Homo-oligomer: A and B are copies of this chain.
């Protein structure tokens, strides 16, 4: 059974109601229906400092605790609202902290902790920006070692300008969004199962050594 972790990067400190949470829950349910185990974390329920390391940046920094869950997952799903056309500062903060994992590679293979993890992205906004959020987030995850299966993004946005968000707009009845949620669930699970059975095996240390010889 593969395990999926959903991170809600909403700007709301209170985890009671969040549009991003609502869409995450839909995808989460679909993954469980397909036999995956899942977990949900509301990032702002943690005290996480700004920085680019895996270690605490201040006393009480709870990043290491969240990171442990991230590296234990087979599927990592970043959920973010759109603000000013791009991902939230909280989502950006999470990605920045993951920079530290570049240093946490396996000594023998050099490979990053997220290698052989599957990456995905869930986005909500009242309008425009989902492509930018998903493109950057999935690309960053691929740099961090993740594999991105087809159609690994699920989003809802309304039409141009201010307006109702996912919950208020009955986004859970939106055909396209429901279709993307199903695609995300199926493709991430299929890929995670495949990577569990046949993990990718590139040795970063050897690559580095070979590249060095050519470059000199």
CB <8 Å contact, A99 and B127: no
Residues of A41-92 at the interface with B, using a CB-CB cut-off of 8 Å, are 44, 49-52, 57-58, 83-90, 92
CB <8 Å contact, A156 and B147: no
Residue among A83, A152, A212 with most chain B CB within 10 A: A83
The answer to whether A31 has its CB under 8 Å from any CB of chain B is no
* Residue contacts A-B, CB under 8 angstroms, 30 given: A11-B51, A13-B50, A13-B57, A83-B92, A84-B95, A85-B132, A86-B86, A86-B136, A89-B90, A89-B93, A128-B157, A129-B131, A132-B132, A138-B142, A142-B151, A143-B153, A147-B150, A147-B191, A157-B159, A161-B175, A161-B180, A173-B214, A175-B212, A182-B207, A183-B204, A186-B202, A187-B200, A190-B201, A190-B202, A191-B200
